[in-house]
Structure 1
Amino acid sequence: MKLQVAIDRVSLAEALKLALLLDSEVDIIEFGTSLVKDYGLYALQDVKAQLKHAQVLFDLKTIDEGVYEFEKGYAVNADILTVMAGSAKDTLTKVYEVAERENKEMLIDLMETDDTKLVQITDYEHAIYGLHHSHDREDLLDAAASVADFHEKYPNVKRIAIAGGIDLENAKKLAAQGLTETVIVGSKILKATDPIAAAHEFKEALK
């Protein structure tokens, strides 16, 4: 299983510092939506060249103007870009085509997406489907149960990621379950006394 660390709501300098610090410990470094909005893609374009191990994800949360945003995102060296499941089907199809053409990846953010929409959009073979518990929600996420439910309903989806308050206990349950490709962790790593040690502990939990 892959470990993705989500860096968000910090300065650009702090984000770059954290990315370099965690590069060897995680598989994917996510530069969150706040960083993209605060600083823009061009400010992030040299990040990939500074990393030696991890893939780079820019959390664009694209919902329209998909081709433009994805072409720009890949042009500044992102490996993975995100699109909202709430987008029009045409938008999802067009950004998927861009990702395939560029030999890159896309993650469909399923935040607050109901089954009526989901049945229409689970046919992108190489896409990552991201179960996402909103940052603003006050209820707690049962990660393993959410993945199990999604897998039962959509067994054709082979690539599942999950985010939203993931702790070590959740990580261990997801690893034992074996249905998730990528576990996304934010504050449990970034706000730890020793982020490197915390990332290492999560990586061990996912084995």
Structure 2
Amino acid sequence: MKLQVAIDRKPLNETIALAKALDPVVDIVEIGTSVIKDFGFVALKDLKSQLHHAQLLLDIKTNDEGDYEFKAGFDAKADILTVMGAMDHATLSKTYQVAQDRKKDMFIDLMAMSEQQIAQITDFHQAIFGLHHSHDSSQNFAPTDSVAAFHEQFPSIKRVAVAGGINLTSAKALAAQGLTEIVIVGGAIAGSDDPLASAKEFMEVIK
């Protein structure tokens, strides 16, 4: 299982410094939507060249203009870009085609989607499907239970990522379960007093 660390709501210089610090330890560095909205692709276009181990995910949450946004995101050297699964199937088709053409990855964010909606987008076989518990939601989220139910409902989907309040205990449980490709951690690492030490702790429990 891979560890992805989400960096959100930080100044540009802190974001870049933290990404570089985490690079040797984690598998994927995610630049969160808030950072991208604040500073844009232009400010982030040189970040990938400063990462020597981790993949770079830009959480752009594409809703429309899929072809344009994914080309722009990959031009900014992202390895993985995100699209909202609830959007028009045509948008997902365009983003998927760009990702395939560039030999990069598309991450489908399943936030707030019903089982019926997800069933209509299972044809993107190389995409990463992200079970994403909303930051604003007050509902409880049980990661391993959610993954087990998702796997049973959609056995054809092989690439699963999980995000939403993940801690060391839930990360370890997900790793033991063996159904998740990527575990996504935000505040428990990026918001900790010592992000590098926290990242190492997570790596120890999932590997």
Pairing 1:126–2:126 present:
yes
**2:81 aligned with 1:81, yes or no?**
yes
2:148 corresponds to: 148
Are 2:107 and 1:107 equivalent residues in the alignment?
A: yes
**Equivalent residue runs for 1:24-173 within 5 Å:** 24-173=24-173
Q: Which secondary structure state, in structure 2, belongs to the residue aligned with residue 144 of structure 1?
A: helix
Identity %: 56
The one-letter amino acid paired with 2:69 is E
2-structure distance, mates of 1:174, 1:72: 33
Alpha-carbon deviation of 1:197? 1.1
Aligned residues: 207
Between the aligned partners of 1:191 and 1:43, the Cα distance in structure 2 is 22
Aligned-pair distance for 1:125?
A: 1.0
SS in 2 for 1:21: helix
**Structure 1 stretches lacking a partner, 5+ long:** none
1:35-86 CA-to-partner distances (Å, cap 9, x unmatched) read: 1100011110000000110000000100100000000000110000000011
Q: Offset at 1:140?
A: 2.5
Aligned to 1:179: 179
Compute the TM-score of the two structures, normalised by the length of structure 2.
0.99
AA aligned opposite 1:30: E
Alignment correspondent of 2:194: 194
Q: Secondary structure at the match of 1:81?
A: strand
Question: Whole-Å Cα distance in 2 between the matches of residues 88 and 133 of structure 1?
Answer: 21
Q: Secondary structure at the match of 1:9?
A: coil
Q: Tell me the amino acid that sits aligned with residue 149 of structure 2.
A: D
* Deviation digits for residues 99-141 of structure 1 (CA, Å, limit 9, x no counterpart): 0000000100000000111110011111000000000012231
Deviation readout 1:125-166 (Å, 9 max, x if unpaired): 110000000000122310000100100000000100000000
Q: CA deviation at 1:204?
A: 1.1
Structure 2: how far apart are the matches of 1:21 and 1:70?
A: 27
2: distance between equivalents of 1:192 and 1:117?
A: 36
Q: Tell me which residue corresponds to 2:21.
A: 21
- Note the residue ranges of structure 2 that are not aligned, 5 or more in a row: none
Match of 2:12 in 1: 12
User: Which 4+ stretches in 1 moved above 3 angstroms?
Assistant: none
What do you get for the CA RMSD once the two structures are aligned? Answer: 0.7
